[in-house]
A and B are shown apart, each in its own frame.
Chain A
Amino acid sequence: DQQVKQNSPSLSVQEGRISILNCDYTNSMFDYFLWYKKYPAEGPTFLISISSIKDKNEDGRFTVFLNKSAKHLSLHIVPSQPGDSAVYFCAARGYNTDKLIFGTGTRLQVFP
């Protein structure tokens, strides 16, 4: 049972445009969500997170939106840059636990 889903395995975006990566979850007990970026041969790098009490969190070019009623979150990257090309994982965590449940990842390619 996949509790965290990223239904788009890949996304291709032109440099300067917006990249939107989506993530859906099924467990209403999740209270904290994180996005990680992963380059080949490296470990995941933390990008941005959001608590379930918020609907938006912004950090520079990265913004995460949370729609609790739809159990959906998205990561917006504006403007997209070629260096953003990587695999992006969303992850979720329940109350009073550090255990992360990861989605399957979306490979983002930003082309010039």
Chain B
Amino acid sequence: SAVISQKPSRDICQRGTSLTIQCQVDSQVTMMFWYRQQPGQSLTLIATANQGSEATYESGFVIDKFPISRPNLTFSTLTVSNMSPEDSSIYLCSVVRGSGRAGKDTQYFGPGTRLTVL
């Protein structure tokens, strides 16, 4: 498995502000993923973050709203910019750990950051 930590674990923010969420992994990984789980909804992939290149965003998510940094192989940040109440969600980072063969590894998740926007 993988040991993944996230900071902060939760936060309450005002509309229009930004919050940066940190994700730390216990060992080097090539790809890190950022997901969102809105209240009562499933987990939705926001973007994939590779070290040394720009993050790849899924449909409906843009870099201006969710800028991502990946400065090294064990760390990543996700910023939720210009927040509105609709951004209230749990934000999760995840990594793949396994044999190294694409499509056959298991994805492990951090504990999540619960964000409430007033």
Q: How far apart are the CA atoms of A95 and B103 in the complex, in Å?
A: 6
Q: Cβ of B107 and Cβ of A46 under 8 Å apart?
A: yes
B1 CB within 8 Å of chain A: yes
Q: Which of B96, B105, B109 has the most CB of A within 10 A?
A: B109
Interface check A69, CB cutoff 8 A: no
Q: How far is the CA of A97 from the CA of B108 in the complex (A)?
A: 15
Query: Is A96 a contact partner of B103 (Cβ separation < 8 A)?
Result: yes
Interface size on B, residues (CB 8 A): 25
> Known: A89-B42, A89-B43. Is A32-B103 also a contact (CB below 8 A)?
yes
Residue B67 at the A interface, CB < 8 A?
no
A43 B109 Cβ-Cβ under 8 A: yes
> Quick one: which of B29-83 are within 8 Å of A by CB?
31, 33, 41-45, 48
Contact between A34 and B104 (Cβ–Cβ < 8 Å)? no
Instruction: State how many residues of chain A have any CB contact under 8 Å with chain B.
Output: 27
Interchain pairs with CB closer than 8 A, number: 61
Max chain A C-beta neighbours (<10 A), residue from B102, B103, B108: B103
Q: State whether A42 touches B111 (Cβ < 8 A).
A: yes
Point out the residues of chain B lying under 8 angstroms from A32, CB to CB: 103-104
Q: Using Cβ atoms and an 8 Å threshold, which residues of chain A touch B45?
A: 99-100
Q: When chains A and B are docked, how far (Å) is the Cα of A31 from the Cα of B105? A: 12
Secondary structure at the A interface, as helix, strand, loop or mixed, is: strand
> Is B96 touching A44 in the complex (CB atoms < 8 A)?
no
Give A46 to B108 CA distance when docked, in angstroms: 7
Supposing A43-B112, A46-B1 touch, asked if A97 and B42 sit within 8 A by C-beta, the answer is: no
The residue among A31, A42, A97, A99 with the most chain B CB atoms within 10 A of its own CB is A99
Q: Which residues from chain A contact B102 at a C-beta distance below 8 Å? A: 96-98
